[in-house]
Amino acid sequence: MKYQRPKGTADILPNQSSKWQFVEDNARQLFAKYCYQEIRTPIFENFDVFSRTSGETSDIVTKEMYDFYDKGDRHITLRPEGTAGVVRAFVENKLFAPEVNKPCKLYYMGPMFRYERPQAGRLREFHQIGIEAFGCENPALDAEVISMALELLAQLGIKNIKLALNTLGDNESRQAYRQALIDYLTPLADQLSNDSKQRLEKNPLRILDSKEECDQAIIANAPSILDYLTPKAKEYFANVKSLLDALEISYEIDSNMVRGLDYYNHTIFEIMSNDQVFDNKWTTICGGGRYSGLVEQLGGPEMPGIGFGIGVERLLLLLENLELANPLDVYVVSIGEQTQTETFKLVQSLRKQGFVAEKDYLERKIKAQFKTADKLKARYTLTLGESELETGKINLKDMQNGEEHSVNLADVYADFAKILKD
């Protein structure tokens, strides 16, 4: 029998994992600068955590969740996104307590699961890096979150991106807009897709997120949320835009953007790329926004939040041609059976001194060992033969310029960095 990975999953091989580490390390360093701390939540949660927060009409709940009953007859789901699990942990562990600084800033990274049609950058097991900040409803935090997402992408070398911005207003704005959509869409109901016909009754805003061609034509002439904002919601959005302008961050207003989950309000945004890996079509690589009601739904106090999520697989498509430097500092070449123990001790010593070091374990000839050193792009080689072992010497070679000379083996053990400086 031939065993293969499940459809919609991927093996992250050693020649690819360095790029994953590059992305994750950059994210951790940047988030630390903004005072975010890591939170790690279970890969599976109770079904209600996501069905309550994501919305009954969302594609995640109706079509995409991997859910099952365990041996205790508990309804369990593999997490389809990061926010709801973080909110559940925030509430359960009382991170809203008065002694916790506000806003409470958290970040996460890890695998998520959705049953959907696999394609480039979209898998059934996929990975997200995201942040959530709780306890503060201030336009400055909205602008900071957007700025941080853009800074991360710039730090990774991502270009050809644009920021799409919208607001869903406060609850009063949303209810007024909901009725306006119903009034507009009801006479056109027979032209909508089957999914949108169902959404018209339950959550008409979700129709704006439809990718069906028959819906797209209707959506193009739909009312704009911007015409139904309360004065307070209008002022909030104006302040967010003003702060982005102050940071010289360019953006485009997309009044049809709603995001894929039902808990958003006020500011929402997407960062998109039209790179050639996406056939030069604008494709979302980061999305997020502000929400309220989510903490209360999971048993916590009234507490606003804001966050974003980045799809790592989609991001890595943009980094396909990224060349990361090989970190190998020293390759130790051994000649003769008598040198095996000494070179083993030496490579261990170099590692303890802080160098990335490797040696030959297959007792190959010297030519094959140097070929491996070249392949691994070693910065230096140290070659020990039986005659050098007797005299306490070892040959040091700079693999960039070809210069080589003999050094004391004892000095390498004592302080190899000093030898390189001298």
Given the structure tokens 């704006």, which residue do they identify?
A: 208
Q: Are strands 283-291 and 305-311 parallel, antiparallel or unpaired?
A: antiparallel
pLDDT value of position 70? 95
C-alpha distances in Å from residue 168, one per residue of 58, 129, 222: 17, 24, 15
CATH superfamily, region 14-170+230-317? Bira Bifunctional Protein; Domain 2 (3.30.930.10)
Element (H, E) at 305: strand 305-311
pLDDT value of position 259? 66
Given the structure tokens 């070809």, which residue do they identify?
A: 402
pLDDT value of position 58? 60
The amino acid present at 159, given as its one-letter code, is K
Domain regions of the chain by residue span? 14-170+230-317, 330-421
Q: First CA to last CA across the chain, in angstroms?
A: 59
Provide the CA 57 distance to its chain's centre, in angstroms. 26
Tokens describing residue 37: 């701390």
pLDDT value of position 54? 65
Cross-sheet strand order for the sheet of 330-334: 357-359, 330-334, 380-384, 393-398, 404-408
- The three-state (H, E, C) secondary structure of 370-395, written as one string: HHHHHHCCCCEEEEECHHHHHHCEEE
CA distance 159 to 181: 36
Instruction: State the pTM of this model.
Output: 0.87
Tens of pLDDT along the chain (422 residues)?
A: 899 999 999 999 998 999 999 999 999 999 999 999 999 999 999 999 988 776 555 666 667 889 999 999 999 999 999 999 999 999 999 999 988 889 999 999 999 999 988 887 789 999 999 999 999 999 999 999 999 999 999 999 998 899 999 999 998 998 898 898 899 989 888 888 888 888 887 788 888 878 888 888 888 888 999 999 999 999 999 999 999 999 999 999 998 887 655 668 899 999 999 998 888 889 999 999 999 889 999 999 999 999 999 999 999 999 987 877 778 999 999 999 999 999 999 999 999 999 999 999 999 999 999 999 999 999 999 999 999 999 999 999 999 999 999 999 999 999 999 999 98
CA distance 375 to 369: 10
Provide the CA 404 distance to its chain's centre, in angstroms. 44
pLDDT value of position 320? 85
Cβ distance 185 to 207 under 8 Å? yes
Number of helices (H) and strands (E) in the chain: give both, helices first: 15, 16
CATH superfamily, region 330-421? Anticodon-binding domain (3.40.50.800)
DSSP H stretches of helix in 93-219: 139-155, 171-185, 194-202, 213-219
Compute the half-sphere exposure of residue 388: CA atoms within 13 Å on the CB side of its CA: 22
Count other C-beta atoms under 10 Å from residue 177's C-beta.
Answer: 22
Could you say which DSSP state residue 344 is in? H
CA distance 127 to 41: 14
Beta bridge partners, 75, equal 69
Rg over alpha carbons for the chain, rounded to the nearest Å, is: 28
